[in-house]
């Protein structure tokens, strides 16, 4: 019998990638507030679970800075030196990011942001090419045209990426209810219940 290959998020060897959630996209991206809400929840979760976070900005001189995402809660988890990385390359896999992934011993990346069919997809493909497992948040990615999202996620899945949700990832990182951060993370999930439901409706179901 052939063995099954199960791709799981590995606590202690996982990083969060926040892709280009910038001010100039606010009025252009379908469900932008929902993307921001999911990202903020994940950033707070990263601080509670000690998950390193990489944040990039695509051509920030033209597209503006990253929207506020409770980054002050991250402390030393944010890379590098408290600031998002500016880029012109569509993929987030920059030389300094690759170096950090090696230093952290990263085996899996949780990816969310915009746009799903451009920077998110190219980041996913580059990570997979480097044998890093990729978990894309269906309730954390979008594009200007919502119809692009399903196509991009299908392409990423075809290449080997996993498509999941923010709440699922947070529980996978804890593994057990005995985790020392369980109560705090559970509290975060409860306080985010309304925004999570909205993100699922707008970004997964496609409601306007």
Q: What is the DSSP letter of 22?
A: B
Alpha-carbon distance 131 to 133, whole Å? 6
Q: Rounded to whole angstroms, what are the CA distances from 42 to 50, 112, 142, 167?
A: 11, 9, 16, 9
Is residue 102 flagged as an active site residue? no
Is residue 19 flagged as an active site residue? no
Give CB contacts under 8 A, 24+ apart, made by 144-148.
144/28, 144/29, 144/30, 144/115, 145/30, 146/30, 146/31, 146/206, 148/115, 148/116, 148/117
- Determine the 3-state secondary structure of 175 from DSSP: coil
Q: What is the DSSP letter of 187?
A: H
From 19, 87, 126, 139, active-site residue: 87
Is residue 119 flagged as an active site residue? yes
Q: What is the DSSP letter of 204?
A: I
From 19, 41, 119, 126, active-site residue: 119
Neighbours of 10 (CB within 10 A): 14
Alpha-carbon distance 42 to 189, whole Å? 10
Q: Which residues are catalytic?
A: 20, 87, 119
């Amino acid at each position: 019998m052939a063995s099954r290959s199960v791709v799981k998020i590995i606590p202690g060897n996982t990083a969060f990638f926040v892709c280009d959630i910038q001010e100039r996209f606010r009025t252009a991206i379908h469900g932008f507030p929902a993307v921001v809400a999911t990202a903020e929840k994940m950033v707070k979760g990263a601080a509670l679970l000690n998950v390193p976070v990489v944040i990039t900005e695509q051509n920030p001189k033209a597209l503006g800075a990253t929207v506020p995402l409770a980054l002050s809660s991250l402390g030393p988890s944010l890379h590098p030196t408290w600031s998002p990385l500016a880029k012109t390359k569509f993929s987030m896999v920059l030389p300094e990011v690759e170096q950090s992934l090696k230093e952290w011993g990263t085996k899996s990346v949780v990816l969310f942001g915009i746009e799903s069919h451009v920077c998110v997809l190219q980041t996913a493909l580059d990570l997979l090419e480097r044998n890093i497992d990729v978990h894309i948040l269906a309730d954390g990615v979008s594009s200007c045209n919502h119809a692009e999202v399903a196509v991009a996620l299908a392409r990423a899945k075809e290449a080997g990426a996993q498509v999941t949700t923010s709440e699922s990832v947070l529980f996978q990182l804890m593994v057990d209810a005995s985790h020392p951060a369980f109560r705090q993370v559970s509290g975060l999930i409860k306080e985010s219940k309304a925004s999570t439901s909205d993100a699922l409706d707008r970004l997964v179901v496609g409601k306007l």
